[in-house]
């Protein structure tokens, strides 16, 4: 891309990550373009919280990353946990093309099973951990948020009030989780009410929130 074209597109609001075609995540550079969400620093919490439990993992722990986008979560874990078996799903075949490109670049393609489909529907076997950064922005808020205009709507806008896609995942999860099993789901800072929802959808599960440095909810943590 010519410099003049670059500056014109930047001044129109195209995110820098799309222009240079990379974004750093957990210390590594991932290829990104407009087919995928630009990985956010707050999503690194998902990785940090998972790695905290690595010493207790069963041999060949099975982890699924639902809504993988660029693949940043599944690929980071494949690199950090050489014995883990990873699955990565996305409803967008375009996003999976980007994720597989990144997996090839990091030489972990053979460690991750990439599957297209809705949430956990493509998964045929039980797993130990379910991780997800699914869309959770309400449609109305998305329309008002100009900074989000260049990223795929399907990566940002959650069903219903924004939490609907996460709630559907909660409904699908129980039959696919080993016991003990864990879920870590990124949520919006005003979506702490998902704790009660998760408790009602997963009876008997321990559910709490992981807060960020500002004291705002960032991750829904579930142990079954
Ligand atoms: C917020 S982005 C997260 C991407 C990546 N995991 C990250 O953290 O940068 C959400 C991803 O979920 C995918 N997605 C949306 N609805 C889905 C569904 N029903 N089933 C599977 N994936 C879905 C989108 O295509 C998008 O890639």
pLDDT value of position 6: 86
Q: How many CB atoms lie within 10 A of CB 45?
A: 18
pLDDT value of position 153: 96
Report whether residue 158 contacts ligand 1, using a CB cutoff of 6 Å: no
Spell out a b/e string for 3-30, using b for 16 or more CB atoms within 10 Å of the CB, else e. eeeeeeeeeeeebebbeeebbebbebeb
The protein residue whose alpha carbon is closest to atom 6 in ligand 1 is: 68
Q: Is residue 34 part of a domain?
A: no
Kindly state the average pLDDT of the residues 119-125: 95
Report whether residue 155 contacts ligand 1, using a CB cutoff of 6 Å: yes
Report whether residue 216 contacts ligand 1, using a CB cutoff of 6 Å: no
Report whether residue 120 contacts ligand 1, using a CB cutoff of 6 Å: no
Q: Is residue 31 part of a domain?
A: no
pLDDT value of position 33: 97
Q: Which domain holds residue 150?
A: 39-223
**Angle made by CA atoms 164, 169, 175, in degrees to the nearest 5:** 150
Asked if residues 128 and 122 have their Cβ atoms less than 8 Å apart, the reply is: no
Query: What's the rounded Cα separation, in Å, for the pair 105 and 12?
Result: 30
Asked if residues 90 and 120 have their Cβ atoms less than 8 Å apart, the reply is: no
Ligand 1 centroid, distance to 15 Cα (angstroms): 19
The protein residue whose alpha carbon is closest to atom 27 in ligand 1 is: 69
Query: What's the rounded Cα separation, in Å, for the pair 82 and 210?
Result: 26
Q: Is residue 133 part of a domain?
A: yes
Encoding tokens for residue 135? 């869309």
pLDDT tier for residue 147 given thresholds of 50, 70 and 90: confident
| Terminal CA-CA length for the chain | 50
pLDDT value of position 79: 98
The protein residue whose alpha carbon is closest to atom 9 in ligand 1 is: 39
pLDDT tens per residue, range 148-200:
899 999 999 999 999 999 999 999 999 999 999 999 999 999 999 999 999 99
Which of 2-11, 32-41, 59-68, 89-98 bottoms out in mean pLDDT, i.e. has the lowest?
2-11
- Tell which atom from ligand 1 comes closest to the C-alpha of 119: 20
pLDDT value of position 213: 82
pLDDT tier for residue 122 given thresholds of 50, 70 and 90: very high
pLDDT tens per residue, range 12-50:
889 999 999 999 999 999 999 999 999 999 999 999 999
pLDDT tens per residue, range 56-86:
898 899 999 999 999 999 999 999 999 999 9
Classify strands 206-211 and 28-31 as parallel, antiparallel or unpaired: unpaired
Report whether residue 72 contacts ligand 1, using a CB cutoff of 6 Å: yes
**Model confidence, pTM:** 0.96
Ligand 1 centroid, distance to 16 Cα (angstroms): 21
CATH code of 114's domain: 3.40.50.150
Q: Is residue 111 part of a domain?
A: yes
Q: Is residue 130 part of a domain?
A: yes
Q: Structurally, how many domains does the chain consist of?
A: 1
Query: Looking at the predicted structure, is the pLDDT value of residue 1 above 80?
Result: no
Report whether residue 134 contacts ligand 1, using a CB cutoff of 6 Å: yes
Q: How many CB atoms lie within 10 A of CB 55?
A: 6
Report whether residue 37 contacts ligand 1, using a CB cutoff of 6 Å: yes
Query: Looking at the predicted structure, is the pLDDT value of residue 130 above 90?
Result: yes
Query: DSSP character for 92?
Result: -
Q: Is residue 75 part of a domain?
A: yes
pLDDT tier for residue 212 given thresholds of 50, 70 and 90: confident
């Amino acid at each position: 891309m010519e410099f003049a074209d670059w500056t014109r597109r930047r001044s129109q609001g195209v995110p820098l990550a799309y222009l240079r075609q990379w974004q750093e995540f957990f210390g590594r550079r991932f290829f990104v373009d407009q087919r995928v969400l630009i990985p956010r620093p707050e999503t690194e919490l998902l990785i940090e919280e998972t790695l905290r439990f690595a010493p207790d993992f069963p041999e060949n722990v099975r982890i699924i990353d639902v809504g993988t986008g660029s693949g940043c979560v599944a690929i980071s874990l494949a690199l950090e946990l050489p014995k883990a078996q990873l699955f990565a799903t996305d409803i967008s075949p375009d996003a999976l093309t980007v994720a597989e490109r990144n997996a090839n670049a990091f030489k972990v393609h053979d460690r991750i099973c990439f599957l297209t489909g809705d949430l956990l529907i493509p998964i045929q076997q039980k797993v130990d951990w379910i991780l997800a950064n699914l869309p959770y922005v309400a449609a109305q808020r998305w329309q008002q948020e100009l900074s989000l205009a260049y990223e795929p709507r399907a990566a940002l806008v959650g069903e219903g009030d924004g939490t609907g896609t996460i709630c559907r995942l909660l409904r699908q999860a129980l039959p696919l989780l080993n016991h003990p099993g864990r879920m870590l789901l990124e949520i919006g800072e005003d979506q702490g009410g998902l704790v009660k929802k998760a408790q009602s959808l997963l009876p008997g599960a321990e559910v709490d929130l992981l807060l960020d440095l500002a004291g705002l909810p960032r991750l829904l943590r579930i142990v079954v």
